[in-house]
A and B are shown apart, each in its own frame.
Chain A
């Protein structure tokens, strides 16, 4: 057991180490090295989870030679362990399943840089999850933000660069607000360590000192993290960021990065400031109501969305709303449900993004109408996509069902809140069903029912054109010209295409399509499907772990 305590530190440092090594590796080597390290982190977190759950306690670990308020410290308990396990699993499976998409979207010589970003992002998420110190949390938020920008930008087409800039500005605003909150809190309490802050805040609110300042601190931190997680009024960056970036980046950003921030917020609420002060400040009502609005608004926006990948992104807004609603109710059951929803949504959303990558041909945005009948062609990924869609709607046997059940159950018995929560859950579930099942139905429309004519053939041609131009545009320099849409450059481009058209016949051109289907892809999405079923069928032990983790939280 003593030695197991080193595992959080090992997993953080292993990822950092891998990032440093990746800077000199070639593309394939970097990819395999990253996957091995992520697998190792998975194993470490799994062992840690087993031991912390069995002994049922938590421990602190000095990062250096000095005890806590002077040096840095990290903390491990079974909640942290299961969250770390979740992060590393999703990261590993995303890289595994999205290998082809990465190769396709990213310039060959920059592929290792992508894996550096993945490693640094994972390590910062792990550090945010294990940290016991607010300022350490802030430092790793910073790494996460910049790595997130890189992950969006790495596709290097005009839209993704614009999106990355927007993400950077909005996200930096969030971290700025969080930093102001940390500074004010430090001035009030004189500590950065979570447990010490909790003592001081309890003393302060016992005396009734600095009530207004504490409320402002809590507000700043909440808004800062809500911006970064994409809660309702701050959600505008989400659809582009998830819809325009590479599939692996979308999957990582939606299922791990935003969840990491929310986990930190839970730590701030229940470990740093303490439930009493939080309840006095009334911020939980704000979380609750924003969550409710996000649940419904996100679904409505997704319903109106015509682009397929943006639709999946919009549904993230609704799901973030569910999580904040759970936090807003504020009881132990509700927070358990919220954390369970983090896992369920994370696994489902990465499944949706990755499995749909086959029929959106990599990271291209496709309109929902273009999905018609594709389920017959891409059988396996369409099946996995459908399972993901069922899970997010809340079909029994799957993870999404349990989390909705838990959220609904936690809401009961809270006066007027329960009716609002249950009603919003019902409406949002129906809307979810409408827009997700619509895509499933489209996928499985029988071939004879599609208004055939030349439609599909033309689509194919368009896809080829898009792909070739996608390859052309890989470079910023070229992209710049292409976006200006000079008559000249169009000519150049068409002549380029002509060259390609002349050089290959049709068969070979079809080979240019990404063709996501390969053993890695199948294994990756199958594992995600299995994990979804595990969440749905074996929810008992997982809920136990979360509850026990919350018990030892303070």
Chain B
């Protein structure tokens, strides 16, 4: 009887939810589809022609009289070093002149992480409900829990690959040091938080593939990832708040710019680079872990 009910309950629901789409005869649908394809092709060609003609009439790239060679770019290049203390002008631009945009970009990364987590993280049913509910859930989900247990025990541990292990033992420290170097030198040389963080993240992923979750979890687990991300984002947010607030109210920020070229220089840029680097590294690692086993 229950079985019947279940089947009954599935059918009308699907009918209801797709109620608006009146069934189209398959012949007409085929014709519509071919019309649609032709229309799409025409649209693409049209867009291409339109954009190409627009581009042909645009100011020539590299011309010194171009409108974008104006006072904005000039000040970045001429005064960038004095005003931000960063030898790497790009770092100075994105983390000081236009820091609000970059803050937005890091939030893009943050929100993307959240969405991926919602999508991929496999949680058991929550432990906060009252006991009775938990009990009934246990009954109801008994089969599925065993399926999860199976999934968990699988854990996708690698086979004992000696070549991978030995070579990553050599490469892993170098990658880590290089990543830290790129982050810390973000304001002096090409690089910065995003690229350095990606290097660090790649290092963690390599370690994980070589030695498996058990060893990696000694220094990188859900808790560390959460705490590092929280602290980095908080420091980022608060330091930017401070700098925006003082800037807008014409107060002295009191943060020394230091001598350009030294590691400890260029004010907040170094701090921001470190924060961004940590967030990016954790994000890369957690994406990989989420895809592999459904939790960090």
Contact = CB atoms under 8 A, between A and B. Distances in A.
Interface of A: 2, 5-6, 9, 13, 16-17, 19-21, 23-24, 26-27, 61-66, 69-72, 107-110, 113-114, 116-117, 120, 123-124, 127, 133, 135-136, 139-140, 142-143, 146-147, 149-150, 153-154, 156, 159, 161, 180, 184, 186-191, 200, 210, 212-213, 216, 239, 243-244, 301, 304-307, 310, 314, 365-367, 370, 461-462, 465-466, 469, 472, 475-478, 490-501, 503-504
A184 B17 contact: no
Interface in B252-289: 253
B104 A493 contact: no
Interface in B49-65: 50-51, 53-54, 57-59
A493 B140 CA distance: 9
A374 to B, nearest CB: 15
B104 A127 contact: yes
Contact of B110 (A19, A64, A139, A462): A19
B225 to A, nearest CB: 11
Is the interface on chain B under 10, 10 to 19, 20 to 34, or 35 or more residues?
A: 35 or more
A429 to B, nearest CB: 22
A20 B67 contact: no
A190 B74 CA distance: 12
B108 A306 contact: no
The 8 residue pairs across chains A and B that have the minimum distance between CB atoms: A108-B126, A465-B9, A306-B19, A190-B67, A139-B104, A72-B100, A65-B247, A190-B68
By secondary structure, the A interface counts as helix
Contacts, number: 260
A246 to B, nearest CB: 12
Contacts of B112: 146
B167 interface: no
B221 interface: no
Contacts of B291: none
Given A477-B122, A501-B2, A142 B108 contact: yes
B16 interface: yes
B128 A462 contact: no
Contact of A305 (B19, B111, B147): B19
B30 interface: no
B15 to A, nearest CB: 8
A139 B105 contact: yes
Question: Chain A CB within 10 Å — which of B20, B112, B245 has the most?
Answer: B20
B247 A63 contact: yes
A492 B248 CA distance: 62
B118 A154 contact: yes
A551 to B, nearest CB: 25
Given A23-B229, A143-B108, 15 more contacts: A13-B241, A110-B117, A114-B118, A120-B111, A154-B118, A190-B66, A216-B54, A310-B19, A367-B16, A462-B9, A465-B5, A466-B9, A477-B148, A493-B6, A497-B2
